[in-house]
Amino acid sequence: MKNTFLKNYGATLLLLVGLVVGGVLGAALGDGARVLRAPGMLFLNLVFMLVVPLVFFSVAHSLVVMQRSGAVGRILATALGVFLAMSLVAGVFSFGFMSAWNPFTRILGQGGDAAGSVMAEGVDLGDALVSALTVDDFALLLSREHLLPLILFSALFGLAVALLGQKAALVERFIAEGEAVVIKMMDLVMKLAPIGIGCYFADTVGALGGQIVGDYFEIFLVVCAASAVCYLVFLSLYALFCHVPLGRFWKEMLPPSATAVGTCSSAACMPVNMTAARRLGVSDKIVDGIVPLGTNLHKNGSVVTSVAKVLFALYFFGAPPQGLGGAALVIFLALLESIVVGAIPVGGMTGELLICAVLGLDPSFAAALLIIGTICDIPATLLNVAGNLAAPLLVQRLVPVDKPAK
């Protein structure tokens, strides 16, 4: 039991210990904590070096795997639509919830106005979209500052490989093995995360004061509350839409939920989610194709946490979202970051770096966003897993197929 607990939570606990120690040192040393910035930046730079190959191999391979998933035609299209719709619901609700219970006003402008140009009025939307999604030279793709164009290029590359089939078998193998190598490299680097992030956090607390710790705690409470509403209310509504009795639905939801809290891993919950979906009457064709795909690409809990990350960044740099345009930017970035987190194993702060790249922020700020992801990991995983039991039910409702024999 002890070994299982350490296996599931060891990395998260070590990172939390690093944050606590860093926070204490930062509060005690004040400006003197600046000396800890160097080891923190050393860790961040190691991560930055691996981001480009990690994104390329992982996104390209994800497209190949998706094409081989067995979910074809209308089922796959419906599943992707369901994933997007559920993520949009989580994103829109979370933005509204966090606008009403707003823990970000206390940090408004503490980092200057680096994000001001993103939210400025008069920005040409077409030019902004072109610059965000594309670059005018292949060499510019090889930079963490252009993650969106890199993701688009990688997705097109993976799709082309999948469509070519046997003609590109060697390239497909290269992508798969390249992904495995880069993931292992990132895994080795992330073992230094408790020290690196701890040092960075100490420098942050030393510069901004101990109040930032309380700010993070309130953000954690807001994310937990928003996740609880999504979990209890929206999942129940999805079940009712699918004509599944609530008692039966929540009875089958309990094992995946308990597994999510116990393992803090969406992948570890996939088998129990597949079993629960079958017990709720979902076709094997949908279960076998959609649940594994959703485990990687559909993460409602990550959307909720990502909304908090984007709002934290915007408020910290003095650019709170205004009007529908600001809300759309926050929700779009949150959805995009949640997909990146799912498509790229081990993450390596890729989602946080994506937020920084789109908002034009210093990449080192990704470490501050990673702290939010770390402290909100359990509620995010719970909602991710729960959403991936509701998703196949919705697909079955929208695309009727033969149900498994009872």
pLDDT in tens, 67-87: 665 545 677 788 889 999 999
Q: Is the dihedral of CA 394, 95, 119, 362 positive or negative?
A: negative
Chain length of the chain: 406
Report d(CA 11, CA 193) in Å as an integer: 9
Burial readout 223-259 (b: 16 or more C-beta within 10 A, e: otherwise): bbebbeebbeebbbebbeebebeeeebeebbebbbeb
Give the pLDDT score at 128: 60
Q: How far is CA 317 from CA 83, 108, 313, 337, in A?
A: 31, 7, 6, 19
Of the pLDDT bands very low, low, confident and very high (cuts 50, 70, 90), residue 165 is confident
Q: Which domains does the chain have, with CATH numbers?
A: 14-398 (1.10.3860)
CB atoms within 10 A of CB 177: 12
95, pLDDT greater than 70: yes
Contacts of 40 (CB under 8 A, 6+ apart): 196, 197, 198, 199, 200, 201, 202, 203, 367
CA dihedral 28, 32, 33, 37 (to 10 degrees): 180
Query: In this structure, how many other beta carbons lie within 10 angstroms of the beta carbon of residue 261?
Result: 15
Per-residue pLDDT reduced to its tens digit, 166-225? 999 999 999 999 988 988 898 888 888 889 888 888 888 887 776 778 888 899 999 999
CA-CA-CA-CA dihedral for 186, 187, 192, 193, to nearest 10: 80
The yes-or-no verdict on residue 347 having pLDDT over 70 is no
